[in-house]
Amino acid sequence: MSDNRLGFLDSQKGLILSGIALLLILPALLITSTYLMMIQEGGEATSIQSTSDKVFYTGLDIENTIHQMDLYDMNVNNSTLDSIERKYEINTALEVELHRTDNIVTIKVTDPKKTAEYSSQINLS
């Protein structure tokens, strides 16, 4: 038998987790779990920002399209607005609602999860 001061067999020497090793491993595990949660929340925030930008710029584009149609004296009735609505829904995968009442066109754009919404009204000439 070899000279062993702690009284363990040679095959059992590496099985003890000393206090110092425990103090080094626990903070590493806690920091790792915290870091993974931060990455997950950061990804969600980026996704929400991207969706909000998509909704906002789609709403502005629809508003600009209707202004241009009005400027060039094109017919802006509910059937035309329904056609525009369907095309934007197909191309952007957003929910678009366009309605004309008298000379006011109401625009509402939302994403399917309802996290972002754009709404506006346009007065036609």
Q: What is the domain range of residue 112? A: 16-123
* Residue 113 pLDDT: 92
In a domain, 1, yes or no: no
Residue 64 has pLDDT above 90, yes or no: yes
In a domain, 4, yes or no: no
H helix intervals, the chain: 19-71, 78-92
Residue 85 has pLDDT above 70, yes or no: yes
Query: Average pLDDT of 65-82?
Result: 95
Residue 3 has pLDDT above 80, yes or no: no
* Residue 92 pLDDT: 95
In a domain, 8, yes or no: no
pLDDT tens per residue, range 8-42:
556 555 556 677 777 888 888 888 888 888 888 77
Contact (Cβ atoms closer than 8 angstroms) between residue 62 and residue 88: yes
Contact (Cβ atoms closer than 8 angstroms) between residue 88 and residue 94: yes
